[in-house]
Amino acid sequence: MLEATWQGVVIAQTEKFEKIEGNYYFPADSLHMQYFQPSDNHTKCAWKGEASYYNVVVGEETNQDAAWFYPHPKREASNIAGHVAFWRGVQVVES
């Protein structure tokens, strides 16, 4: 089982994932959505496409843009369609 935690709270869990460039991509349905708020931030990757972001919110704490995903990834990155990755202090560990 792969878990993503922040502030001591499990925000996502999965048995299945994709790993690209050292990042674990969790299926969107493995996220505990009560901890996620859409962000207005977008960035571009030359080979994956345009990324969108979520803020991770636990209690009164917000981790701005701590999760990202590609709503319409380029063909080369089609395996991460419908998946979300983490950074900015979110811990991803096997349990």
Q: What is the mean pLDDT of residues 8-27?
A: 97
pTM of the model: 0.95
Note whether 5 and 90 are within 8 A (CB).
yes
SS3 at position 60: coil
pLDDT of residue 63: 98
Report the mean per-residue pLDDT for the chain: 97
Residue 72 tokens read as 């319409």
Q: Show me where the domains of the chain are located.
A: 2-94
Beta bridge partners of 63: 56
Q: Residue 11 is inside which H or E element, if any?
A: strand 9-14
Domain 2-94: give its CATH code.
Answer: 2.170.150.40
pLDDT at 95 over 80: no
